Amino acid sequence: MLEHLRQTDPDLARLIEGELNRQRHNVELIPSENFVSAAVLEALGSVCTNKYSEGYPGKRYYGGQEWIDQIEQLAIDRAKQIFGAEHVNVQPLSGAPANLAVYTALLQPGDTILGMDLSHGGHLTHGHPVTFMAKIYNFIRYKTGADGLIDFENLRQMALEHKPKLILAGFSAYSRDLDYAKFKVIADEVGALTMADIAHIAGLIAAGELNNPVPIFDVVSTTTHKTLRGPRGGMIMCQAKHAKAINKAVFPGLQGGPHEHQIAALAVALGEAMTPAFKDYAKQIRINAKVLCAALKAGGLKIMHGGMTDNHLILADVTPLGITGKIAQTVLDEVSITLNMNTIPDDLRGPLDPSGIRLGTPAMTTRGMKESEMEQIAGLILKTLQQPNNATVKAEVKQAVHDLTDRFPLYPNF
Ligand SMILES: *Cc1c(COP(=O)(O)O)cnc(C)c1O
């Protein structure tokens, strides 16, 4: 890899090599990250980046689309088959633009959206006041209850009171599966449309490991680069009756020419997601998360959302160890273990120094790690967090992390 770059731009080549080495030698636990296959990287770095293709397969504004049309159609057809979708748009540039496109397609400015509170597991694009979307739409938020699970009685009361046009199910820091039928019953009761944002869990749904909202919801948005293990991008699946509105919102509503190199790489990733090997991968992600979760809990961390995980991620309160989420993230960074600080439900601390950490298993499962490595990683995390100021401990942990990652090579042929 990089043979041309090394010649023409050695400065940049050195920086990319530095990033590759970081990825190789870190225990990567950020639950939204993953490592794509060499085949996905090849398609992403292909000549498809040279082509302008405004419009959709068979209905483009420029000529020369005979190959690009087939590439985009292949991605669409594979996604339809995997998720059981009536219509798919693969052009959203990422998850946030996909969500904005859904709102643009289905709603008028000022309309009300009922989504999950950010500190309870929702995403910024579900109506956090710092977003542009929050200026356009009226977001209200449901929360988890005392048991850590989504409080459907509270959700129903809010829906009856606020009469939202859209009820949004989806999260970036919630460790449990969702009962989409329950959302649908409430939405039908108040005449709301249903949207699921499966950005984090698309790969687990594709493999049949978690419930699939596509058959019963109006619209489902996702990223393609998290558990789905594709290139960075977004995708919208919807019922046929919303197809026209969704397509128009993406282009020309919000975007120009689609990124066909990214769509080609998505087609590759979707092809991979249809294989038995991917099903095994998704199953192992969940097994690994359960093992990691149990070991961290035994070590004194307080696990949110009912004290367990159904999916790939764990949200844990670290304050029982006498530290904050920010301290945890910082000291773990020093030992080459990467995760992120995160607020916990109704956190008394702010987002810049919250009480919790969020971690997950998709990336390390891609590396081939299994239950025993998860036990080992939990041990290294706990050892570090119990003595965050002990330089000897940190040096030992860092060495152990490098020894561990060396046993699971990343892109060995590069
Ligand atoms: C990651 C994520 C997004 C945003 O995706 P980007 O590709 O970062 O724009 C949206 N919604 C949810 C639930 C996410 O987890």
Catalytic residue among 17, 52, 182, 334: 52
Between 97 and 143, the higher pLDDT residue: 97
Point out the domain boundary residue: 239, 273, 307.
Answer: 273
Quick one: pLDDT band at residue 196, thresholds 50, 70, 90?
very high
The preferred substitution site among 123, 130, 195, 311 for testing ligand 1, maximizing ligand atoms within 8 Å of CB, is 123
Query: CATH number of the domain that 167 lies in?
Result: 3.40.640.10
- Strands (E) located in 182-288: 193-197, 219-223, 234-238
The preferred substitution site among 125, 226, 228, 311 for testing ligand 1, maximizing ligand atoms within 8 Å of CB, is 125
Catalytic residue among 24, 60, 78, 226: 226
Range 146-151 average pLDDT: 90
128 lines ligand 1 (CB under 6 A): no
Question: Does residue 373 carry a catalytic annotation?
Answer: no
Quick one: pLDDT band at residue 146, thresholds 50, 70, 90?
confident
Co-location of 230 and 300 in the same domain: no
DSSP 323-387: --HHHHHHHHHHTTEE-EEE--TT-SS-TTS-SEEEEESHHHHHTT--HHHHHHHHHHHHHHHHS
Q: How far apart are CA 138 and CA 120, in angstroms?
A: 19
Question: Does residue 226 carry a catalytic annotation?
Answer: yes
Residue-wise pLDDT for 285-329, tens only, equals 999 999 999 999 999 999 999 999 999 999 999 999 999 999 999
Q: How far apart are CA 176 and CA 199, in angstroms?
A: 14
How many C-beta atoms surround the C-beta of residue 130 within 10 A?
8
342 lines ligand 1 (CB under 6 A): no
- Strands (E) located in 117-218: 138-142, 166-170, 193-197
Expressed in percent and rounded to 5, the helix, strand and coil fractions of the chain are 50, 15, 35
Co-location of 104 and 65 in the same domain: yes
- Looking from the CA of residue 32, the nearest atom of ligand 1 is 1
Nearest residue by C-alpha to atom 12 in ligand 1? 199
CB 26 within 8 A of CB 401: yes
Could you report how far apart the first and last alpha carbons of the chain are, in Å?
A: 5
Give buried/exposed letters for 313-344 (b at 16+ CB in 10 A, else e).
bbbbbbbebebbbbbbbebbeebbbbbbbbbb
Ligand 1: distance of its center to the CA of 394 in Å? 33
CA nearest neighbour of 212 among 364, 79, 360, 75: 79
Evaluate whether residue 314 is within a structural domain.
yes
Co-location of 253 and 299 in the same domain: no
Co-location of 127 and 196 in the same domain: yes
Residue 377: its pLDDT value, please?
98
Three-state DSSP class for residue 150: strand
Ligand 1: distance of its center to the CA of 406 in Å? 30
Co-location of 74 and 196 in the same domain: yes
Co-location of 228 and 292 in the same domain: no
For residue 70, how many C-alpha atoms fall within 13 Å in the half-sphere facing its CB?
A: 3
Quick one: pLDDT band at residue 60, thresholds 50, 70, 90?
very high
Q: How far apart are CA 182 and CA 255, in angstroms?
A: 34
- Looking from the CA of residue 95, the nearest atom of ligand 1 is 5
The pLDDT > 70 percentage for the chain reads 100
Co-location of 366 and 245 in the same domain: no
Evaluate whether residue 2 is within a structural domain.
no
Min mean pLDDT across 107-111, 129-133, 338-342 is at: 129-133
Evaluate whether residue 374 is within a structural domain.
yes
Min mean pLDDT across 120-134, 275-289, 291-305 is at: 120-134
The DSSP bridge partners found for residue 220 are 196, 237
Co-location of 134 and 159 in the same domain: yes
Min mean pLDDT across 27-41, 79-93, 124-138, 288-302 is at: 124-138
Residue 88: its pLDDT value, please?
98
Evaluate whether residue 35 is within a structural domain.
no
CA nearest neighbour of 125 among 104, 156, 146, 151: 104
Question: Does residue 218 carry a catalytic annotation?
Answer: no
Point out the domain boundary residue: 242, 273, 304.
Answer: 273
**Length, in residues, of the chain:** 414
357 lines ligand 1 (CB under 6 A): no
Residue 266: its pLDDT value, please?
98
Ligand 1: distance of its center to the CA of 223 in Å? 6
Co-location of 114 and 207 in the same domain: yes
Evaluate whether residue 12 is within a structural domain.
no
- Looking from the CA of residue 172, the nearest atom of ligand 1 is 15
Co-location of 225 and 249 in the same domain: yes
Query: How far is C-alpha 407 from the chain's CA centre?
Result: 26
170 lines ligand 1 (CB under 6 A): yes
Question: Does residue 197 carry a catalytic annotation?
Answer: yes
Range 171-199 average pLDDT: 97
Point out the domain boundary residue: 250, 273, 296.
Answer: 273
Residue-wise pLDDT for 366-405, tens only, equals 999 999 999 999 999 999 999 999 999 999 999 999 999 9
Co-location of 338 and 210 in the same domain: no
Three-state DSSP class for residue 223: strand
Ligand 1: distance of its center to the CA of 203 in Å? 14
Q: How far apart are CA 24 and CA 244, in angstroms?
A: 43
Evaluate whether residue 21 is within a structural domain.
no
Q: How far apart are CA 397 and CA 253, in angstroms?
A: 50
Under DSSP, the state recorded for 251 is: I
Catalytic residue among 112, 131, 223, 343: 223
Residue 414: its pLDDT value, please?
85
Range 121-132 average pLDDT: 88
Question: Does residue 147 carry a catalytic annotation?
Answer: no
Alpha-helical runs (H) found in 84-124: 95-106
Residue 277: its pLDDT value, please?
98
Evaluate whether residue 28 is within a structural domain.
no
- For residue 399, give its domain range: 284-406
- What's the whole-number average pLDDT of the chain? 96
Query: CATH number of the domain that 378 lies in?
Result: 3.90.1150.10
Question: Does residue 69 carry a catalytic annotation?
Answer: no
Q: Are strands 313-317 and 337-338 parallel, antiparallel or unpaired?
A: unpaired
Evaluate whether residue 145 is within a structural domain.
yes
128: pLDDT strictly greater than 90: no
What is the amino acid identity at position 133? M
Q: How far apart are CA 379 and CA 363, in angstroms?
A: 18
335 CB-near residues (< 8 Å, 6+ apart): 380, 384, 394, 397, 398, 401
Ligand 1: distance of its center to the CA of 73 in Å? 24
0.95 exceeded by the pTM?
Answer: yes
Rounded alpha-carbon distances, angstroms, from residue 244 to 251, 334, 405: 11, 50, 47
Q: How far apart are CA 220 and CA 98, in angstroms?
A: 10
Co-location of 268 and 301 in the same domain: no
Q: How many domains does the chain have?
A: 2
